[in-house]
DNA sequence: CAGCATCCAAGAAGATACTG
DNA sequence: CAGTATCTTCTTGGATGCTG
């Protein structure tokens, strides 16, 4: 197990390029909220309140701010339906799904971590 | 994944659990420097200066602070050799390697992203 | 419901200088 | 080499109230 991880993490010659790639990614998904929001929308949540309810602790201010920037960066689509009252839907773009592997790896780590510190499943 | 709308709207336990796991992980690896440092040490860098040189932009202050906290959290081992001058070595624990999949997923994303925006490999 | 505006606190991070 | 110490700036994020 350790040997495996050690192996995959050890390519000295490409180290600089990989550190760069890692730092780029951290820059893009940085902050507490970006990945949980992506995860929520990719999971099918479309409405502002639904997304907010699905992410413990997030305020309307932060959610609003992140959604706006994510729309600018083409991570999500925002569609307004002129009903009464107005409804808005957020949906993921293909680009948004590219974060899937990162999110899954992090969910996996988090579950194992919790199991480890609580001692149960 | 979202075959039943009511499931999405009612937030099944599984989804809540996954968001929780994701937020836990973000909390642990949060910040700009934690993952690059883990990556550097897992890649075999042991000395303070070597680690610093391998991570563009990090200051001695931030590196020092992170290393201290990572040692407290058993992510790394710190060994002092009483030579003249004194040398210090940081090495990864097994726990540290558990971040491997996350780091690899992020490196992969970063490489593809760079390829995409620069248009070349 | 879907946000925006405002004010403010706390922490992360940077610059720089210095020590054993 | 391996850090500490200070000072300052910047960013994140929280609280709250308000609007169409």
Count up the domains in chain B and report the number. 1
CATH code, domain with B80: 1.10.10.10
pLDDT at B84: 76
Residue A41 lies in a domain: yes
Q: So what's the pLDDT on residue B119?
A: 81
Q: Does B25 fall in a domain? A: yes
Stretches in chain A below the pLDDT threshold 70 = 1-13, 120
Range(s) of the domain holding residue B74: 15-118
Contact B106 A26 (CB under 8 A): yes
Residue B38, C-beta contacts closer than 8 angstroms, at least 6 positions apart: B29, B70, B75, B92, B96, B99, B103
pLDDT tens string A93-114: 999 999 999 999 999 999 999 9
Q: Chain B residue with minimal CA distance to A51? A: B9
Residue B1 has pLDDT above 70, yes or no: no
Residue A2 near residue A9 (C-beta atoms within 8 A): no
Residue A10 with chain B: CB contacts under 8 Å: 42-44
Residue A56: which region, alpha, beta or left (left: phi > 0; alpha: psi -120 to 50)?
beta
Q: Is residue A31 part of a domain?
A: yes
Q: Is the pLDDT of residue B2 over 90?
A: no
pLDDT in tens, B6-64: 444 345 668 889 999 999 999 999 899 999 999 999 999 999 999 999 999 999 999 99
Tokens of B65: 């602070």
Grade residue B85 by pLDDT with cuts at 50, 70 and 90: confident
Taking each helix axis from N to C end, the angle separating A15-29 and A34-42, rounded to the nearest 10 degrees, works out to: 70
């Amino acid at each position: 197990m350790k040997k495996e991880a050690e192996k995959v993490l050890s390519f000295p010659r490409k180290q600089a390029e990989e550190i760069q790639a890692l730092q780029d990614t951290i820059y893009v998904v940085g902050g507490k909220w970006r990945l949980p929001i992506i995860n929520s929308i990719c999971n099918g949540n479309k409405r502002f309140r639904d997304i907010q309810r699905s992410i413990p602790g997030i305020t309307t201010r932060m959610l609003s701010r992140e959604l706006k920037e994510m729309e600018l960066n083409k991570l999500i689509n925002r569609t307004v339906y002129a009903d009464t009252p107005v409804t808005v839907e957020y949906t993921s773009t293909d680009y948004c799904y590219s974060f899937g592997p990162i999110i899954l790896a992090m969910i996996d780590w988090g579950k194992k971590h919790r199991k480890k510190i609580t001692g149960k499943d």
